[in-house]
Amino acid sequence: MLAFFKKYRLFTIVMSCLSVIILITFYFALKKERMLKVYEPEDFNSELVDPSIQHVRKYHTIKDFKLVNQNGDTITQETYKDKIYVADFFFTTCQSICPVMTKNMALIQKEILDDDDILLLSHSVTPEIDSVAQLKRYAIEKGVIDAKWNLVTGDRKQIYDLARKSYMAVKSDGTEGYGMIHTENFVLIDKEKRVRGTYDGTNDEEIQELLGDIKILKKSYK
C-alpha cells in the first residue's frame, strides 16, 4: 500500500491542487455580483415600442425632454444628470392600477430618501387634465417629497414619444392625437440614460427586486 502511494504521490498532489483551484473558482463565481442587463428596444414587447425603433439593438438612451413638475418648475435631463432614477407613467384620476403604483413608488421614495444619487420621475399620460395645480394636489395627498420625486406634465406628443420611443412603457390606444394606454411598468434608468430593468409596479415582489437592482447598479459605479 505504501509503495502504491509513493508511486502515485505526484499524481495525488496535482489532483489535490486542481481540486482546490476548482473549489476556489466556484466560490468566487458564486460570490460575484449580478450585473444588470442594458435593455434595448428589441428586448421589449412590440406593443410597448414605437415601430420606428423596434429594430434598435444597441446604444439606446432616454431622449432629452422638457416638462413641468408639481411646483411649476421646468424638469429636463439636467435635473437627472448623473442620477439613477425610476420612471413610470400614470394619471391622477386613474382608479385602477395607479393607486397601487403610487403607493409602491412612495415606498421606493422612503427607501432612497437619504440617497442623493437616486430620484423618481412620474409622467402624466393625461397632461390636458393633469395641470400643475392638479399634480400638486395629488403630490400632497400621496406624500410626494419634491426633492426626490417629480410628477410631470407637458406636451402630449413629447410625453407620448418619451413613453414609446425612450422608456418603452405604454401602449398606443390606436387613435390619432397620441393616445396612450399606460401600464404598470416601472423603469430603472442608469446614469448614462440607459434602461437597466423593468418591473411590475403593482407587484410587491418585483418592487423588492427593483430595490435590490438599484443597490447593484449603485455598486457598479464605485
User: Which set of grid coordinates corresponds to residue 95?
Assistant: 382608479
Alpha carbon 61 to its chain's center? 13
Total residues belonging to the chain: 222
C-alpha–C-alpha distance, residues 107 and 99, integer Å: 12
Helix (H, G, I), strand (E, B) or coil at 161: helix
- Ligand-binding annotation for 60, yes or no, is no
Q: What are phi and psi of 94, to 5 degrees?
A: -65, 130
Q: 97 with 194: CB under 8 angstroms?
A: no
C-alpha–C-alpha distance, residues 17 and 76, integer Å: 58
Helix (H, G, I), strand (E, B) or coil at 66: strand
Provide the 10 A C-beta neighbour count for residue 50. Answer: 16
C-alpha–C-alpha distance, residues 169 and 187, integer Å: 8
Known binding positions:
94, 98, 182
Known binding positions for Cu cation:
94, 98, 182
